[in-house]
Structure 1
């Protein structure tokens, strides 16, 4: 590889994390190219719930997953599903997941999630202000509601756990909820309000605005599938269907598809799997909610957006190859029935499924390896949108330290190192 390569950094992945990182790197004077087989924002970034979920500092699973395993295998419409055909491949990952639920690993996971989430809102406000689009994020809180009297104890216990983690949270009685969201059903008895959260009015548009800002800074976008690569003396060579592309460094940020390229470049096997997430977009439903609302018992979220109301949630473990089960997306509409004074309309609704990249300790990989030639930013599970802006700032810090021949051994990065696997 010649010393005069045309790119300082090749970013593999044009989702929200890859694009945010590319923009931040370009604004630091780096020559950046972004490579993806899809158009920017067409993966998981397109269909997420749009919720800035800074309150979600606990992993998606807890020890009760053992009791729920039979239902996960048998109920195709359950909120947490494991495809029985995928079970043999999923068992090693689930074994690691269970081991990470022991007290000390669980504590490390919560600390790592909290550290990222505490910085996420400010990082997003900085990024959107810089591109002059702060209007894309509504910082007006979010709400977790419950309907059954027996759920109050669980809600109060959750509130106590969140306060122990310094998450801002308030208990709202039914009257306060009706005042803020009068279209919700009277059967809602109360809930938890999270003031330091918000929602994006159009997640796909957020990616598009970041892409335009990145292009204005000189970032180029290449629609190609990266088939492999190698770390060389002066940088990294990536193989695509149309030939090779070289750069001094590469950033792997292609979500659930990151494991293969990471192994090719670093020789490390990453236990990366995917939570298949679904949404149902209701284009005729406007002005139903002022902010995102999640149901404790029904286990899904409803987010108001410029294009309507998005119902999202459910986790399915079935890998990257099996076709989507869109009945799970339509199930979200059935789950919404009874949550409003007047049921939501599914007229012209559109279903969607995407792959959330998940590691068994619920933490992402944010690291630099191979003498700084390989940067990593993937595995954010269902918090990719939330943590994208702060991840981009961390990647820039790593990249600049490498450019200055400095070793970035910041303790802040230790929970997210590749070497933990």
Structure 2
């Protein structure tokens, strides 16, 4: 992660970096930044990646691993107004707003509610869908030539329901998804038990999404991309980025170990992107963070054939190389508040009754990370400041899903053949910085 407090770089800061003159400095070594770095290097650009942590140690380390191409709708809908009291009062609820953080979150939530009006809502759905529809194919292209067989599983995912009265809501969701051309099949209880026999008999059925998948180790995905990027000449610097300034030659970034200069910069540091964006572009971005939790169960191999989500319990279970990962919940409490790991352990309690035999929590490890979220649920993917600043952040809970296609779009923006303004690229219209 990068330091949260930025300042304008003094003109007289000395440089002690041997990394002068890179074509692009990528700030952020999560899945988005590393994927972009690799794609840019494959185009022949000289790339340096800067992050205060080792690659993949932020939100990319602990995501659910689900390639969620089916999730074309924003995480919130108009029912959020009715749920607000519960969000404030229930510390273990699936969607929580820390009451102490509410004054800071209120402007963001106001924007979110305005984006739930019909016209902006449909723009959001179209924007998410456009990225998701291209995401799996982009992942295959990004991983091409890399020696990591079996890391990516395109075997679908399942949304199950337990209460008979939930069937109507599930069928309504199926109709909405089909209207958006999302491949989806309704499974009766028998089909669920045949495919996932360890699930409880109280499962009534579910929706199966054949055009989805998962990674068996999200952190290893980042590591494999880093290895491929280094082979292409990408340099990785473990430094804090504390400020920056544009100049005639490009950009100068102040780090805790001196200055790094490049012709261009790509800001891809997730939930920490807003202040550096403001420092370099003068644009204040309404970026907040959905704090997500997971609980890794190392003794639970073979329970599920693919990712399974509970409609009523609102969390996901993904089979991974190291066990079964329970993930989910959304918490709005900002970047400064300490994690509430009890929310991670709550995921194990939520799993009780979903299997014929309860999951073992022996040796389980909890985790919390920051999902970068904008109030219209779309990322910023853009080129500004006469091409000197590229932007790729705000992917909320779809960062893993959309990383490879985002890398291709950033590479398109960075290509020498891309003339004039990014406004000439119609595919990028929904993701431009100037929508805020």
- TM-score bracket, shorter-length normalisation: over 0.9
1:407 aligns with 421
SS of 1:40's partner is coil
| Corresponding position of 2:142 | 127
Query: Which whole-Å CA distance do the structure 1 matches of 2:343 and 2:124 have between them?
Result: 29
RMSD: 1.2
Shift of 1:5: 4.4
Alpha-carbon separation, structure 2, partners of 1:334 and 1:127: 38
SS at match of 1:105: helix
Corresponding residue of 1:382: 397
- In structure 1, C-alpha distance between the alignment counterparts of 2:35 and 2:154, rounded to whole Å: 19
Please say if 1:392 is aligned against 2:407. yes
CA distance in 2, matches of 1:176, 1:76: 36
Which consecutive segments of 4 or more residues in structure 1 shift more than 6 A? none
2:321 to 306, 313, 324: 306
Contact 1:362 1:381 in 2 (8 A): yes
Q: Deviations over 1:93-143 (max 9, x none)?
A: 000000000000000000000000000011011112232324210000000
Q: Identify the match of residue 244 of structure 1 among 247, 259, 268.
A: 259
Partner of 2:6: none
Q: Confirm or deny: 8 A CA contact 1:226 1:241 kept in the other structure.
A: yes
Gapped regions of structure 1 (runs ≥ 5): none
Instruction: State the partner residue of 1:367.
Output: 382
Counterpart of 2:164? 149
The counterpart of 2:309, out of the listed 281, 289, 294, is: 294
Cα deviation code 1:307-341 (max 9, x no counterpart): 00000000000000000000000000000000000
Rounded Cα–Cα distance in structure 2 between residues aligned with 1:404 and 1:324: 43
- 1:278 and 1:417 map into 2 onto residues whose CA distance is 29
1:275-298 deviation digits (Å, cap 9, x = unpaired): 000000000000000000000000
**Is the contact made by 1:128 and 1:134 (CA closer than 8 Å) also made in structure 2?**
no
- Aligned pairs for 1:194-273 (under 5 A) are 194-273=209-288
d(CA) in 1 for partners of 2:320 and 2:330?
22
After superposition, the C-alpha distances for 1:394-417 in whole angstroms (9 at most, x for unaligned) are 00000004x664433211000000
Q: Any idea what SS the aligned residue of 1:271 has?
A: coil
| Matched-pair contact (CA < 8 Å) for 2:20–2:260 | no
Cα distance in 1 between the residues matched to 2:149 and 2:95 = 34
> Take 2:250 and 2:138, find their aligned partners in 1: how far apart are those partners?
30
For 1:42 and 1:298, locate their aligned partners in 2 and report how far apart those are by CA, in whole Å.
28
TM-score, structure 2 normalization: 0.95
CA distance 1:404–1:195, change in 2 (3 Å): closer
